[in-house]
Amino acid sequence: MPAPRRLLHNGDYLRLMSGQSISSLGTAMSAFVFTLLGLAITGSPVQAGLVGTAGALGGTVFSLPAGALVDRVNRRNVLVACSLAGTVLFGSVAVAGWLDRLTIVHLIVVAFCSGAANSFFMPAQNAALRKIVQPADLGTAMAANEGRQHVAGLLGAPLGGALYAVGRVLPIAFDAVSYLFMTVMLMTIRRPLPAPEPDGEQHEPILRAIGTGLKWVVRQPAIRVMALSATLVNFAAQGTLLVLILNLQRHGVRPSTIGLLETGIGIGGVLGAIAAPRILRRFRTGMIGIVAAWAIAIAFAATAFTLQPLVLVALLAAAIFLVPSFNSGLFGYQVMITPDGMQGRAQSAIGFLANSTVPVAPALGGILLAHAGARTALLVFSSIIALSALMLTLSGAIRAIPLLADVAAEQGLP
């Protein structure tokens, strides 16, 4: 039976996927509306921007400790607790808004706590996914997750904006309810998701466990290169998008037209997620990662030579098309070869490295745009992605990664 059909007959996977799909839409709506709420409350773009900063900071600060804790507790309990936290946090914003008691401090605290909760949820979710689906279906399941996120990104802003026009806190209320729905779905998962057994008689202290996780990631040649590559790609992608938006604004392009750049990314991601299972079945995982990285580098470099919005949309869609296959393949491989007791720490370590430099990208993009021009800025960022692609290409460990089905067989996974 093909992987998609097996997944459709996997009740626990469907519960996890349906809960996350609704919650992802709610999260996309809240992310769009939170800054608008901050601006409406304070009238200050700077203070409103602190909301997004707080969310990123919460995720970064708790990322490494979260991985260590996820590796010593029941994964279902972590998922349910994080989902319930989302219900309470965003529900509090909705209630405060209806009572006209909402403050910028409230929004900042909720954003920070939500980012922290997400740092626990993501490694627990990936560890749970490994238990819920068959190894041969892991790539398809991760590709579906990629598609879910891109669909939520496409729909979240317009739906959030429409509800915001009716009532400012309606999108936030929807998000709170979506978290509640996900909580119910998570609680009905039947497969046990127990805490991993400690390597010794007892678990290491938290700080030592974090160090053990980081050392494990560094000592795995393929995973080490993947983490460094993801760090460079995330950094350069953030900088590229900022430069494109600011440069189009400087040339008088309408905001509604500039917004199509995000649409191009969403469409490319959705189409890529649809194609990913077939790509993962036909091509070696390592080669998919290498080709995808070079495709992103070339497409991003091409954006330096045009100001036509529709051409830019097409280039961004082309750049993103292979990203679901890239993420599903390489990170599916990482999940397969990582011991169960190291899943949380490995996920958190990679995520921490991949996102650690992202906040610096907008600042560098602004500086390059102001002092060197848009073309130079875009070529600098595309060169960073090319460096990432070169690292993957030169890595024998990456080139040697076979089909995910073969990885599962090599690891002796059921």
Do residues 135 and 166 both lie within one domain? Answer: yes
Do residues 128 and 246 both lie within one domain? Answer: no
Res 272 pLDDT > 90: yes
138 part of a folded domain: yes
Res 219 pLDDT > 70: yes
Summarize the confidence of residues 215-219 as an average pLDDT. 90
- How many domains, the chain? 2
197 part of a folded domain: no
Q: What is the pLDDT of residues 334-371, one digit of tens each?
A: 988 888 888 889 888 888 888 777 778 877 888 898 88
Amino acid identity at 320: I
Structural tokens at position 80 = 């349910």
Do residues 74 and 147 both lie within one domain? Answer: yes
Summarize the confidence of residues 157-170 as an average pLDDT. 86
Lowest mean pLDDT among 5-9, 169-173, 227-231, 328-332: 5-9
Do residues 118 and 223 both lie within one domain? Answer: no
222 pLDDT band (50/70/90 cuts)?
very high
334 Cβ neighbours under 8 A, 6+ residues apart:
222, 223, 226, 346, 350
Summarize the confidence of residues 10-30 as an average pLDDT. 92
Do residues 177 and 48 both lie within one domain? Answer: yes
In this predicted structure, what is the pLDDT of residue 55?
84
Summarize the confidence of residues 136-152 as an average pLDDT. 86
Do residues 97 and 223 both lie within one domain? Answer: no
Res 316 pLDDT > 60: yes
191 part of a folded domain: no
200 part of a folded domain: no
CATH of the domain at 83: 1.20.1250.20
102 part of a folded domain: yes
412 pLDDT band (50/70/90 cuts)?
low
In this predicted structure, what is the pLDDT of residue 78?
95
Structural tokens at position 28 = 């996309």
User: Are residues 337 and 401 in contact, defined by beta-carbon separation less than 8 angstroms?
Assistant: no
Do residues 216 and 181 both lie within one domain? Answer: no
Which percentage of the chain shows pLDDT scores above 90? 47
Query: Could you tell me the maximum CA-CA distance found in the chain, to the nearest angstrom?
Result: 65
The rounded mean pLDDT for the chain is 88
In this predicted structure, what is the pLDDT of residue 203?
74
In this predicted structure, what is the pLDDT of residue 353?
82
36 pLDDT band (50/70/90 cuts)?
confident
Count of helices and strands (H, E) across the chain: 19, 0
In this predicted structure, what is the pLDDT of residue 199?
66
In this predicted structure, what is the pLDDT of residue 130?
86
176 Cβ neighbours under 8 A, 6+ residues apart:
26, 86, 87, 89, 90, 91, 93, 94
More confident residue, 288 or 358: 288
Res 263 pLDDT > 80: yes
Do residues 174 and 217 both lie within one domain? Answer: no
> By residue range, what is the domain housing residue 321?
206-409
192 part of a folded domain: no
Summarize the confidence of residues 173-182 as an average pLDDT. 96
**Could you give the CA distance from residue 345 to residue 218 in angstroms, rounded to a whole number?**
12
231 part of a folded domain: yes
User: Are residues 150 and 266 in contact, defined by beta-carbon separation less than 8 angstroms?
Assistant: yes
**Could you give the CA distance from residue 291 to residue 297 in angstroms, rounded to a whole number?**
10
In this predicted structure, what is the pLDDT of residue 159?
87
In this predicted structure, what is the pLDDT of residue 200?
58
Q: What is the pLDDT of residues 232-256, one digit of tens each?
A: 998 999 889 888 988 888 888 886 6
Do residues 290 and 237 both lie within one domain? Answer: yes
In this predicted structure, what is the pLDDT of residue 201?
56
Summarize the confidence of residues 361-382 as an average pLDDT. 90
Res 390 pLDDT > 90: yes
Do residues 167 and 288 both lie within one domain? Answer: no
Res 413 pLDDT > 60: no
In this predicted structure, what is the pLDDT of residue 1?
54
2 pLDDT band (50/70/90 cuts)?
low
Summarize the confidence of residues 115-136 as an average pLDDT. 89
Do residues 219 and 144 both lie within one domain? Answer: no
Do residues 98 and 246 both lie within one domain? Answer: no
**Could you give the CA distance from residue 159 to residue 144 in angstroms, rounded to a whole number?**
22
306 pLDDT band (50/70/90 cuts)?
very high
257 part of a folded domain: yes
323 pLDDT band (50/70/90 cuts)?
very high
In this predicted structure, what is the pLDDT of residue 411?
62
Which percentage of the chain shows pLDDT scores above 70? 96
